[in-house]
């Protein structure tokens, strides 16, 4: 590959330090002359930034060539310094790793200083969430489209870059036995859980403006939902996969506040930097309807939140129960057949079935057939950001959502955000619990009447 400058806006931040810069270590050597330029408002010497790069990447060569450019995202001056640092013959990747409200200003300033443009090798990477609602996302997409061609734009949703998420496509479309039962006739419900054990850490400035719906649902949850429920794409080229996801998202009904639950963990208001009167949700759950031939009438539930019992990201497909079985005159409750796709941790897929317990009696017990995903790997599973950065550098679009999908996802979540921001309070939940009790009521009378917590449920772990 050619020599490349990676300009990270917001390089002083959490994401750059924890994910982006460490991922560069896996690229060094594959990209000749990779150089990191950090840009942001922080007063930092180049020496201090080099130290940051050295600590985050563990790569001395990368650190010794890094540079820091102090700039106000809105003002032209710093961009002039940036322009001087970038040599004509180098490819440039601009990576916007700042809070979403800064994106429009950075793009405008890049344009005004002549740094954007359709030159070969130039790329722009924008973090999620893209915008704060459908209107701002449309504006940003238009702005991106004026400054860069579509193949230069990389909109991040790092969930798509997780191998276990990409494996959903492989699982569904390379095993023909599942397709005939992947529909409203056979599936009773689908649950998507993206639970985190950690709270908001030191990200109050970002999180208290954003909340769980914008942070997780608009992007990661809806992308996972789309991959699980979309039709077969014409090919596995990025454009066709995007098309299939967009079609699906167009069939998803905008979220109904009456079928949704918001929560806030106890102690959130005492977190450093959180408004003491904040009504911001740290938990969101809802019932989703897909109005299409395949899924009509099948409830799809999601829940996501911070400070929950444990980290667990998974999709559970529950098939319709078998008729009750009478054994020696006694009816046995059928054991639900569940497919648990574990995105993380303990990556894998488990098919939970009913089986006869060995012994003289005909007794049914839940049992699991399990794929341990890590066993398929020759090396440790890469971090999603390793995959993101590799794809950006290679110019591939497989793990990036398209602009239209992002806009449609905002159309889906906006009614919920508007309703929650204008009215009411979140239900408090205990740290370390599974979230507000009301989330269980969402399932009442449906599915199994309670969420599947795969680690706790026999046959699913």
Binding site for ligand BG6 (CB under 6 A): 128, 196, 215, 313, 384
Pick one of ligand NDP, ligand BG6, none as the site partner of residue 79 (Cβ within 5 to 8 A by kind). none
Q: Which is nearer to ligand BG6, 68 or 159 (CB)?
A: 159
Q: Are 129 and 218 in contact (CB under 8 A)?
A: yes
42 binds ligand NDP (CB under 6 A): yes
Whichever of 105 and 231 has its CB closer to ligand NDP, that residue is: 105
Told to check if 100 binds ligand NDP by CB under 6 A, we report yes
* R_g of the chain, CA atoms, integer Å: 23
- Using CB positions, name the residue nearest to ligand NDP: 13
HEC secondary structure over 406-460 = HHHHHHHHHHHHHHHHHCCCCEEECCCECCCCHHHHHHCCCCCCCCCCHHHCCCC
Element (H, E) at 355: strand 348-356
97 binds ligand NDP (CB under 6 A): yes
Lay out the sheet containing 300-305: strands in order across. Answer: 364-372, 348-356, 338-344, 312-319, 187-195, 300-305, 283-288, 260-265, 427-429
Q: CB of 81 within 8 A of CB of 46? A: no
b/e burial code for range 91-105 (CB count within 10 A of at least 16 → b): bbbbbbbbbbebbbe
Assess 127 for contact with ligand NDP (CB under 6 A). yes
In the complex with ligand NDP, which residue's Cβ is closer, 105 or 256?
105
What are the tokens at 402?
């398209």
What is the nearest approach in angstroms of ligand BG6 to the Cβ of residue 70? 25
CB 36, CB 23: distance < 8 Å: no
Query: Looking at beta carbons only, is 57 or 313 nearer to ligand BG6?
Result: 313
* 59, two tokens: 């790569």
Of 199, 205, 334, 455, the residue at the interface with ligand NDP (CB under 6 A) is: 205
Report yes or no: 70 and 43 within 8 Å, Cβ to Cβ: yes
Q: Which does 196 bind (CB under 5 to 8 A by kind): ligand NDP, ligand BG6, none?
A: ligand BG6
Contact stretch for ligand NDP (CB under 6 A) within 51-59, 198-206, 405-413, 445-453: 198-206
User: Interface with ligand NDP includes 304 (CB under 6 A)?
Assistant: no
- 41 in contact with ligand NDP (CB under 6 A): yes
Q: How many residues bind ligand NDP (CB under 6 A)?
A: 21
Closest to ligand NDP by CB, 223 or 453: 223
Q: Catalytic site residue 122? A: no
Q: List the one residue from 138, 203, 287, 303 that touches ligand NDP (CB under 6 A).
A: 203
Query: Measuring CA to CA, which residue among 305, 306, 300, 303 is closest to residue 318?
Result: 300
The alpha carbon dihedral of 387, 392, 396, 397 has a sign of positive
Smallest separation, CB 287 to ligand BG6 (Å): 23
| Cα distances (Å, whole numbers) of residue 266 to 48, 120, 427, 456 | 37, 51, 10, 24
Q: Select from 26-34, 95-103, 245-253, 354-362 the region that touches ligand NDP (CB under 6 A).
A: 95-103
By beta-carbon distance, which residue lies closest to ligand BG6?
215
List interacting residues with ligand NDP (CB under 6 A): 10, 12-15, 40-42, 73, 97-100, 102, 127-129, 158, 203, 205-206
Which residues are part of the catalytic machinery?
220
């Amino acid at each position: 590959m050619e020599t490349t400058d990676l300009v990270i806006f917001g390089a002083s931040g959490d994401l750059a330090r924890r994910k982006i810069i460490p991922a560069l270590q896996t690229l060094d050597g594959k990209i000749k002359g990779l150089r990191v330029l950090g840009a942001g408002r922080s007063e930092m010497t180049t020496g201090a930034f080099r130290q940051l790069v050295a600590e985050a990447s563990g790569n001395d060569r990368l650190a010794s060539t890094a540079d820091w450019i102090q700039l106000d995202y809105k003002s032209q001056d710093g961009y002039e310094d940036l322009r001087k640092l970038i040599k004509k013959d180098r490819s440039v990747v601009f990576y916007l790793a700042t809070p979403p409200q800064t994106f429009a200003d950075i793009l405008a300033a890049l344009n005004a200083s002549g740094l954007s443009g359709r030159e070969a090798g130039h790329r722009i990477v924008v973090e999620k969430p893209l915008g704060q609602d459908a209107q701002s996302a449309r504006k940003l997409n238009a702005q991106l489209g004026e400054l860069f061609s579509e193949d230069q734009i990389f909109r991040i949703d790092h969930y798509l870059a997780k191998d276990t998420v990409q494996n959903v496509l492989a699982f569904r479309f390379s095993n023909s036995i599942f397709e005939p039962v992947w529909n409203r006739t056979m599936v009773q419900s689908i649950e998507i859980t993206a639970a985190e054990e950690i709270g908001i850490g030191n990200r109050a400035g970002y999180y208290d403006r954003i909340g769980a719906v914008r942070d997780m649902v608009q992007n990661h949850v809806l992308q996972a939902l789309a991959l699980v429920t979309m039709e077969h794409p014409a090919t596995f080229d990025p454009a066709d996969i995007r098309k299939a996801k967009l079609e699906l998202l167009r069939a998803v009904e905008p979220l109904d506040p009456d079928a949704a639950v918001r929560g806030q963990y106890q102690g959130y208001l005492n977190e450093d930097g959180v408004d003491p009167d904040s009504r911001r949700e740290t938990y969101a759950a809802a019932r989703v309807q897909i109005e299409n031939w395949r899924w009509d009438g099948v409830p799809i539930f999601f829940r996501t939140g911070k400070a929950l019992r444990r980290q667990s990201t998974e999709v559970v497909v529950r098939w319709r129960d078998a008729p009750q079985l009478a054994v020696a005159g006694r009816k046995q409750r059928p054991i639900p057949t569940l497919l648990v796709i574990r995105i993380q941790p303990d990556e894998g897929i488990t098919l939970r079935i009913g089986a006869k317990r060995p012994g003289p009696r005909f007794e049914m017990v839940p049992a699991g057939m399990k794929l341990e995903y890590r066993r398929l790997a020759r090396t440790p599973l890469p971090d999603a950001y390793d995959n993101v950065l590799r794809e950006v550098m290679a110019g591939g679009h497989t793990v990036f959502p398209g602009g239209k999908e992002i806009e449609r996802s905002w159309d889906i979540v906006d009614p919920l955000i508007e309703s929650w921001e204008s009215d009411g309070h979140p239900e408090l939940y205990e740290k370390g619990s599974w979230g507000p009790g009301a989330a269980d009521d969402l399932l009442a009378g449906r599915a199994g009447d309670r969420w599947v917590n795969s680690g706790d449920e026999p046959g699913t772990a």
